[in-house]
Amino acid sequence: MKKLAILRHAKSSWDDPGLDDFNRPLNDRGWKAARRMGRVLRKRGVKFDLVLSSTAARTRETIDGIQEHFDFDAPIEFRPELYLASEEALLETIRGLDEKVKAPLIVGHNPGLELLVTDLSRDDDRGLRRRVAGKFPTGALVILELPTHHWSKVKPGEGQVVELMLPRELD
């Protein structure tokens, strides 16, 4: 069994219309949400063994905000190919993970992340997958359990959403 965590960056600012999308920072609400997520991850004792993130300003700042209250205690790799990555590109990244990795976190953007979560998982009794389908909010974290021992063999529809953390529902 593998665990995969997927985090959409926190709410970003649109205050500067001339700013390139890649360089948009978090707004105040985004910083608060990232810090809140960090407190909750620490409190729940969540562990990751690898963090893969887009190189965009808002994903970097989301990680910074989380780290104010939570020590990832894992390598963090910023990968340019994760910026606005498609579902297919994200799946290829997952299938290419080293088999020693058991609990990675991917930090990125919609619509790729939302499509990835809904594609990898099946409906569950708590309706967590349905809550993500069509609206994976900024700052939200999903934890999937994947019934495989090999990342290269991850298949659509086999995973289970076991945790959904939305910033507005935390604390």
**pLDDT tens, residue by residue, 93-110:** 999 999 999 999 999 999
Would you kindly state where each structural domain of the chain is located, as residue ranges? Answer: 2-169
- Residue whose C-alpha is closest to residue 65's, from 26, 123, 91: 26
Distance separating the N- and C-terminal Cα atoms of the chain:
29
The Cβ-side half-sphere exposure at 57, using a 13 Å CA radius, reads 15
For residue 171, what pLDDT is reported?
61
- The CATH number assigned to the domain with range 2-169 reads 3.40.50.1240
Q: DSSP secondary structure string, the chain?
A: -EEEEEEEPPPBP-S-TTS-GGG--B-HHHHHHHHHHHHHHHHHT---SEEEE--SHHHHHHHHHHHTT----S-EEE-GGGTT--HHHHHHHHHTS-TT--SEEEEE-TTHHHHHHHHHB---TT-HHHHHTT---TT-EEEEEES-S-GGG--TT-BEEEEEE-GGG--
Strand-pairing partners, residue 141, are 7, 165
For residue 138, what pLDDT is reported?
97
For residue 94, what pLDDT is reported?
98
Say if residue 164's pLDDT is above 70. yes
Confidence class of residue 170 from pLDDT cuts 50, 70 and 90? confident
**pLDDT tens, residue by residue, 37-88:** 999 999 999 999 999 999 999 999 999 999 999 999 999 999 999 999 999 9
